[in-house]
Amino acid sequence: MSKVIVIFEKNWRGYAAGETAGFDASVADSLVEAGFAIEADEKAPRKARNAAPGAAKGNAGASDADTDSKSGAQADADGKP
């Protein structure tokens, strides 16, 4: 099975916001749907892919503490805490 590369926007398990990792398609889709990651796009310029997490969504100035303090911030790929 091929891997789907994602870039984390929020901390999830052992991964920190901004890290890149590869997962099976079902896990990657769950992470994207839950808002923990975005799918890495090899066509995007490297500078855009390495931008600060949340910058593209207009969350400049929002800290990880703001997003991780919400209920469910440590949910797994199935959305279970």
Range of the domain at 29: 3-68
Per-residue pLDDT band for 10 (boundaries 50, 70, 90) equals very high
The reply to whether 78 falls in a domain is no
E strands, 1-81, are 3-8, 20-24, 37-39
Number of domains in the chain: 1
Coil/strand/helix, residue 25: helix
pTM listed for this prediction: 0.52
CATH number at residue 43: 3.40.5
Q: Looking at residue 40, what is its pLDDT?
A: 92
The reply to whether 81 falls in a domain is no
The reply to whether 9 falls in a domain is yes
More confident residue, 4 or 78: 4
8 A C-beta contact, residue 49 and residue 18: no
The reply to whether 12 falls in a domain is yes
The reply to whether 76 falls in a domain is no
Whether the per-residue pLDDT at 39 is higher than 90: the answer is: yes
The reply to whether 46 falls in a domain is yes
Range from 17-26, 39-48, 69-78 that averages highest in pLDDT: 17-26
CA distance 80 to 8: 18
